Amino acid sequence: MLLKLLFAKNEDIPVGSATIFFGYSSIFWFVVGTGLGSFNAAKLAFPDWVTGTELFAFGHMRQVHVLAVILGWISMAFAMTMMYMTPSLGNTKLWSEKLGLWNVFLWNIGLSLGLLLLWMGITSGREYSDLIWPIDLVVIFGVLLPLGINVWMTIAHRKTQGIYITNWFFGSMIFLTIITVTIGQSPELFNLTGLTEAYLTFWHAHNLLGLWITPVAAAIAYYTIPKITGNPLYSHRIGHLHFWSIIAFYSTPASHHLMSAPLPEWLKSFASVEGVLILIPAVAFIANILLTMKGKWSLFVENVEIKFSVTGVLLAIPLNMQGGFQQTRAINWYVHGTGWIVAHAHLALLGMSTFLEIAAVYFGLQAMLRRKLYSLALANLHYWFVIVGFCIYWISMTIAGLIQGAGKIYEVPYIDVVIAEHPYMIARWIGGTMVFTGNTIWLYNMWMTAREGTIIPDGRYAHEMAYER
């Protein structure tokens, strides 16, 4: 079906096709990615579980998990939301459905190929930039650039006068991410070496998180919360404070990832200070969204999309508190390289970002398929599996991290730390497996929605009909 649409005329492609294909691809990669995560967690708890072949060794699987969830789930969910939010906020149609479909197609092919090569150990050996440079070029030209062109052109052809905050974020963050990825991969393209390479690796990693994964998720919340509650955004101005302070402060603290490397000291100090300033956009965002909820808090219980979105926003509170302070030198010295950081990474990606995206994918797929969710009960089950699993993961890894930190500064022999962490490794595996189970339920639910969901009549929204039979 995709193949037929790829070669159809743009006018003949039904509106929303790109959204739908992106939506289902993202859920698919979510299931694959969390399944791999749960497998890795099992390997760290029980190292002799599957042995004898390098393909199932931890060192071959870890980066596949990380890139499957970042490039497959998170980024595709972003693309999916951009495909329907950008046009609807500009009162227009997507600039080109056809480009959108080619985008999904190239994205899935490129990602599958890249992950397959990584799995076999064909890597560039740089964290978060593990993909080899030919695949990096596919990411830049087949994935990000077409997405950017579609979004920019849709914004340019809008029929409204102003540009809503969500579209500000979408348009500029794609642009900045293209720059980030291009500069971040330049060591491989131009054979830059030494500290320059190390620094650019983490410059890329940091900006990918700071200018793509978290702000775009926040932008999504600026759409879903007002849309579903029916309340206008509390303040567009505070939204702009959020936007501009992200660009000003969060594009600079990359070197906080390399505090003990021989980088210039002024750069590290600068990064620490700028990093604490992340609290400004964070407070602006959280306050703005929670104030928008005024008078509609019952929806937090009644409506799945709001339930996911608000949970995501609430998780942003501990996330930014951790983020702001753990890069000050005193705290970084204690937590660097421990499970604390793994817990923090999952709080950002699996907590805040993922919850906001799940809400938007639920909402967008129902709106574009014009079908009501197959089962609300399954959706609630999905929510509880993901939130409980995530909490187990986060708490256990945070404790493991504190143990490791203590072991580090009190010079405990390393093996004792490994022994002390063992119960938390098992807990993490159980929590992660719950997330994975929840996601398989979700995939089933969305599959059935496409086939058997009640058709939504014109002029109505899925969320209004949630409790109608």
Partner 1 sequence: MGFRQHKFGSAGIGLMMGFSMSITLFFPSFDFRSGVSTWVGLDKQLSAGRLIGFSYEDPLVRGDGKPVTVILDKDPSTGAAIDPPIRAYVYKPGTPFSPGINHTDQLGLGVEELSVNVGKINDAKPGDGIVFTIVKGEFNGEELDYVENATAVRGWTVDKVLSSVGDDAKRFVGAGKTIYITEGCWWCHTLLPEETQDWQYFGTPPYLGDFNGEMPTAFGSDRKAPDILHVASRNSSREWMYMHFFNPRLVQPNSIMPRFDYLWAPIGKGPSDARDASGASIDFPKWRAEYMTYLKGDSIYPPDVPEPAADSQVRALVDWIMTSLR
Write out the binding residues for ligand HEM, residues 74-103 only, by CB under 6 A. 74
For partner 1, the closer of residues 42 and 293 by Cβ is 42
Binding mask 323-362 for ligand HEM (x = CB under 6 A): ------------------xx--xx--xx---x--------
Residue 79 tokens, joined: 């693309």
Contact 345, 403 (CB under 8 A): no
| Binds ligand HEM (CB under 6 A): choice among 164, 249, 436, 442 | 436
In the region spanning residues 45 to 84, those forming contacts with ligand HEC, defined by CB under 6 A, are: 58-59
Helix axes 97-119, 58-67, angle to 10 degrees: 170
241 contacts: CB under 8 Å, gap ≥ 6: 280, 281, 284
| Binds ligand HEM (CB under 6 A): choice among 40, 150, 154, 207 | 40
For ligand HEM, the closer of residues 208 and 310 by Cβ is 208
For ligand HEM, the closer of residues 375 and 440 by Cβ is 440
Longest dimension (CA), the chain: 68
For ligand HEC, the closer of residues 384 and 414 by Cβ is 414
Q: Which residues of 100-109 are buried (b: 16+ CB within 10 A; e: fewer)?
A: bbbbbbbbbe
Which of 355, 332, 460 has the alpha carbon at shortest distance from 405?
332
For partner 1, the closer of residues 59 and 295 by Cβ is 59
Residue 73 in the binding site for ligand HEM (CB under 6 A): yes
Q: Tell me how far apart the alpha carbons of residues 167 and 92 are, in angstroms, rounded to a whole number.
A: 13
Residue 384 in the binding site for ligand HEC (CB under 6 A): no
Residue 415 in the binding site for ligand HEC (CB under 6 A): yes
For partner 1, the closer of residues 179 and 321 by Cβ is 179
Q: How many residues does the chain have?
A: 469
Residue 316 in the binding site for ligand HEM (CB under 6 A): no
Q: What is the dihedral of CA 399, 403, 405, 409, to 10 degrees?
A: 160
Residue 436: name its binding partner from ligand HEM, ligand HEC, partner 1, none (Cβ under 5 to 8 Å by kind): ligand HEM
Residue 123: name its binding partner from partner 1, ligand HEC, ligand HEM, none (Cβ under 5 to 8 Å by kind): partner 1
Which of 20, 144, 165, 30 has the alpha carbon at shortest distance from 94?
20
| Binds ligand HEC (CB under 6 A): choice among 156, 195, 321, 418 | 418
Contact 336, 395 (CB under 8 A): no
Please identify, among the stretches 60-68, 185-193, 440-448, 449-457, the one whose residues bind ligand HEM according to the rule CB under 6 A: 60-68
Q: Give one DSSP letter per residue of 308-347, joined into a string.
A: HHHHHHHHHHHHHHHHHHHTSHHHHHHHTTSHHHHHHHHI
Q: Which helix (H) or strand (E) holds 134?
A: helix 133-138
Please identify, among the stretches 20-28, 36-44, 146-154, 446-454, the one whose residues bind ligand HEM according to the rule CB under 6 A: 36-44
Contact residues for ligand HEM, defined by CB under 6 A: 33-34, 37-38, 40-41, 44, 62, 65-66, 69, 73-74, 341-342, 345-346, 349-350, 354, 428-429, 432, 435-436
Residues within the interface to ligand HEC (CB under 6 A): 44, 58-59, 414-415, 418
